[in-house]
Structure 1
Amino acid sequence: MVFTSSIPARTSVARRAGRSGTPRWVLIGTEVLVPIVLLALWWVASANSTNAFFPPLQVILERLVQLVQTPAFLVDVGSSVGNLLLSFVLASVIGVLLGAALGLVRPLAWFVEPTIHFFRAIPPVALVPIFVSLIGFGNETRIISITLAALFPVLISTMDGIRGTEPTLAMVSRVYRIGWFDRLVSVTLPAASPRILSGMQVSLITAFVVMIASEMLGSSTGLGAATLLAQQSFAIADMWVGILVLGVIGYATTAVFTLFRRRVLRWYLASQQQEKNA
């Protein structure tokens, strides 16, 4: 009865927030308009460029259309996106599982946590040469490097999220004699999900950066390797195409994850808005 009666209240709060805040169409229009304006400025600023390292945007876009029609370019894009997504999923799954274990078992965390913070302090890009030296060049090396670099934000955010769970929730779960697994899946992890998803968003950005760095160190496939090879071969238009496509991939993956995060945390965002309007 309490749950059903809270739905109209949340709906009215969301409607008041929509009327009092910035209209949604203005936010969406601004997000779409800003990249268009930047591209237009880039087009105008580079239209008459004679600098070999700063070709006109028209030349770059024409070269992009040509490269999209080649199988090698599509293979590079697929390799980069595939490694990014696979490593991010692995880092998220491992990070949530280990973080949940360390967050629930405090004695275990006392022994392991100093080691975690030690490796977390190492810049993620610095780990790439180490794995290349130990494992060698190959796709497995890139996946391991990206996964390990992206692991720590998820791991630490999961630990903090579980430790920050309201004690009242644990007490109520024990009163109703809910099993530990059901309590973990139905109570603890949902309560910690805002911090977990925030850590996953940081992990996605870290994975993207390390993906590019790992492809630039001895790899022959991927957009990072193709961009570096174009720069070394003085194929400047191809280099700019690689940079432009990497930027689009980074923006697209972040935008998709942001939508996913908002969808999962609708209940949390509604409760936060309700507290602000209370």
Structure 2
Amino acid sequence: MEGLQPEDLAMNRWLREIVAELWLPCLVVLLWWFTSRGSQSLHFPPLSVILERFGQDWLFARFWTDLLPSLRNFGFGLLIGATIGVAAGTALGLSRFARHVLPLLEVMRAIPVIALIPLIIMMLGTSDIEKIAIIAFGSIWPVLLNTTEGVRNIDPTLRDVGRSLTLDRGSVLFRVILPAASPQIVAGLRLSVSIALVAMVGSELFASTRGIGYVILSATQGWDMPQMWAALLMLGIVGYALNGLMTLFEKRALRWHWGRATINRAATR
């Protein structure tokens, strides 16, 4: 490795990470391909048939009619839920009475969002507003509770430093409190992404006419197994892409945090 430029070392490290992450999925796909080849099972068609259906539908027609509406509802719902969660969690974390409210919030968080779908449909109908509300409700709680704990557990000396620098309340909030609590906020946001994805599919299983969840349900009811597996494959790709985006966001947003953690580990050796 001697004589390599820094950009070459970075490229080699990136390639090693890609290989380490993709070798197992590629192996599973190969095994699936060869074990399902020539399958006559109604429930488990050959992977070649599934991929052919995937290319026909999800890369063209259903990309616009089902995938994009699902992603749009997911994005709006997650944005609303995360915004409310950070705002309410910050207010509770700064409040002396938060300990009286947290048990109630834990009870509400324990209610599966899927169980509330019929009620929300009765209140809001079957439009996209209903789906966005379901996704938002499901994604609020991890962000809210993590933000509350993150703000409550901030070292008091950080606030004292902010006051000693004669910062106003807004500056203390955005320059001291929220940055210090950001590791837990981002951890809550990562949980919210997975919950929002489940809520997105669940909201499309009830009285819906489009979306990934609707395609899965209609394909199952019509015994169109290649379509069902193709939709599940699309859902897996979406989940994997969202996880990758969250990883990139976490590395960029918490760069200072990981750098400090690395320094602390080096100092303790």
* Shorter-chain TM-score above 0.5: yes
Residues 1:35 and 2:12 aligned together: no
Aligned partner of 2:48 in structure 1 is 58
User: Which moves more between the two structures, 83-92 or 69-78?
Assistant: 69-78
* Residue of structure 2 in register with 1:180 after alignment: 169
Q: 2:101 aligns with which of 102, 108, 112?
A: 112
Size of the alignment, in residue pairs? Answer: 259
CA distance in 1, matches of 2:159, 2:59: 57
User: Residue 240 of structure 1 corresponds to which residue in structure 2?
Assistant: 229
Inter-CA distance 60–133: structure 2 relative to 1 (3 Å threshold): same
Give unpaired runs (5+ residues) of structure 2: 1-5
Q: Structure 1 residue 242: deviation in Å?
A: 0.5
Please say if 1:76 is aligned against 2:69. no
SS at match of 1:106: coil
Aligned to 1:47: 37
Distance 1:160 1:111 in 2: 14
Deviations 1:36-72 (A, max 9, x none): 2211111111112110110000001111111136534
Quick one: which amino acid aligns to residue 244 of structure 2?
A
Q: Give unpaired runs (5+ residues) of structure 1.
A: 1-14
The structure 2 residue matched to 1:155, chosen from 117, 135, 144, is 144
Aligned mate of 1:190, from 179, 194, 218: 179
| Structure 2 equivalent of residue 272 of structure 1 | 261
Task: State how far apart, in whole Å, the 2-side matches of 1:181 and 1:197 are.
Answer: 21
Two-structure CA RMSD over aligned residues (Å): 1.9
Cα distance in structure 2, aligned partners of 1:73 and 1:255 = 20
Cα deviation for residue 105 of structure 1 reads 1.9
**1:3 paired residue number:** none
Which stretch of the first structure deviates more once superposed, 94-103 or 30-39?
A: 30-39
**1:164 partner amino acid:** N
TM-score by length of 2: 0.91
Q: Measure the CA separation in 2 of the matches of 1:264 and 1:216.
A: 35
How many percent identity over aligned positions? 36
CA distance in 2, matches of 1:189, 1:63: 47
| 1:227 matched residue in structure 2 | 216
Q: CA deviation at 1:137?
A: 1.7
Alpha-carbon spacing, 1:264–1:70, altered in 2? closer, same or farther (3 Å): closer
1:25 CA drift (Å) = 3.6
**Amino acid aligned to 1:47:** R
Residue 84 of structure 2 aligns with which residue? 94
Matched with 1:5 is none
SS at match of 2:204: helix
Structure 1: distance between partners of 2:46 and 2:62: 24
Q: CA deviation at 1:134?
A: 2.7
Q: CA deviation at 1:270?
A: 1.0
User: How far off is 1:241 after superposition?
Assistant: 0.6
Map of 1:218 onto structure 2: 207
CA distance in 2, matches of 1:259, 1:61: 29
Q: Counterparts of 2:30 and 2:71 in 1: how far apart (Å)?
A: 27
Moved more, 98-107 or 23-32: 23-32
The one-letter amino acid of 1:135's match is L
Whole-angstrom CA distance in 2 between matches of 1:185 and 1:69: 42
Is the Cα contact below 8 Å between 2:58 and 2:234 reproduced in 1? no
Work out whether residues 82 and 189 of structure 2, in 8 Å CA contact, stay in contact via their aligned partners in 1: yes
Per the alignment, residue 169 of structure 1 pairs with 158
The Cα shift of 1:235 comes to: 1.0
After TM superposition, where is structure 1 displaced by more than 6 Å over at least 4 residues in a row?
A: none
Rounded to whole Å, the distance in 1 between the matches of 2:122 and 2:35 is 43
When the two structures are superposed, what TM-score results if normalisation uses the length of structure 1?
A: 0.88
